[in-house]
Structure 1
């Protein structure tokens, strides 16, 4: 898996950073990308290693897991990878997952709330309830980026 941590020139380095990784659009690829992102966040969250993870880390992990799993399940195109990107600023964490299938942009299913027995269909409702903001953008030439933002808690 290709990973890189980037800080742009001229960008403040205290509490700001970028993480990007490509992953196969499979369940295993999504799992591996999520764990790599969690390790990166643990080292860049601005707290001592001895301090336990907080609720914002748990929220970030859930959002990363849901968005990467959705890319593997709904955005898979044979032979094309997906991309996970994190941007961490002093005030916000932005999570972006880009996949190769752009024909249909995701929307939360209105029926998902009432279908308690179903095994899927509630992922975007989870994203909407956990994130401070989220959305989807077309990614040219063919694909989409689904993103979520969370305010960093003091």
Structure 2
């Protein structure tokens, strides 16, 4: 974890905080990474520890982190290779990045997910909760799936 301060001439100071952790590409590894990220977010100044009626940022972040880490464990697993969770927090935006070793398996939301099944709807959830999301190749092999969300408050609706 580190923090960097970026100041443009004539602009207010913007503090950007970073978190990252490696995790085994297993359900337990994804679970532990999500909880570590939630604990880190709770320590960040101005970030809510839990969802409230005024600010659902904590719940949104938790769901996005859970989906992306679970997808890496389920669909991006390569024996002997870990996945990586990285968060970048600015005063207005949280960027979540999960990198796994399976670059040939790119994510795509499916509209025909089995209503009674346990999979197939995760990326639909990411699409509906995130302000933006995507996938990028990760060198030397693998991919990074990312999602961004802005602070949502009752006053602004976003």
TM range (shorter): 0.7 to 0.9
Counterpart of 1:102 in structure 2 is: 103
Counterpart of 1:22 in structure 2 is: 22
Question: How far apart, CA to CA, are the structure 1 residues paired with 2:139 and 2:47?
Answer: 38
**Structure 2 SS opposite 1:39:** helix
**Structure 2 SS opposite 1:82:** strand
- What do you get for the CA RMSD once the two structures are aligned? 1.8
Counterpart of 1:11 in structure 2 is: 6
- Compute the displacement of 1:16 (Å): 2.2
Question: How far apart, CA to CA, are the structure 2 residues paired with 1:108 and 1:45?
Answer: 34
Counterpart of 2:43 in structure 1 is: 43
Structure 2 vs 1, CA of residues 37 and 116 (structure 1 numbering), >3 Å: closer, same or farther? Answer: same
Structure 1: segments with no counterpart, 5+ residues? none
TM-score (norm 2): 0.85
- Compute the displacement of 1:103 (Å): 0.7
The residue correspondences of 1:43-122 to structure 2 (distance < 5 A) are 43-46=43-46, 52-54=50-52, 55-112=56-113, 115-122=114-121
Aligned residues: 145
**Structure 1 SS opposite 2:141:** coil
**Structure 1 SS opposite 2:109:** coil
Check conservation: 1:15, 1:45, Cα contact below 8 A: no
The residue correspondences of 1:119-134 to structure 2 (distance < 5 A) are 119-134=118-133
Structure 2: segments with no counterpart, 5+ residues? 8-12, 154-158
Structure 2 vs 1, CA of residues 77 and 48 (structure 1 numbering), >3 Å: closer, same or farther? Answer: closer
Question: How far apart, CA to CA, are the structure 2 residues paired with 1:58 and 1:45?
Answer: 17
Question: How far apart, CA to CA, are the structure 2 residues paired with 1:145 and 1:48?
Answer: 26
Counterpart of 1:139 in structure 2 is: 138
Check conservation: 1:15, 1:44, Cα contact below 8 A: no
- Compute the displacement of 1:11 (Å): 3.0
Structure whose residues are more often helix by fraction: 1
**Structure 1 SS opposite 2:112:** helix
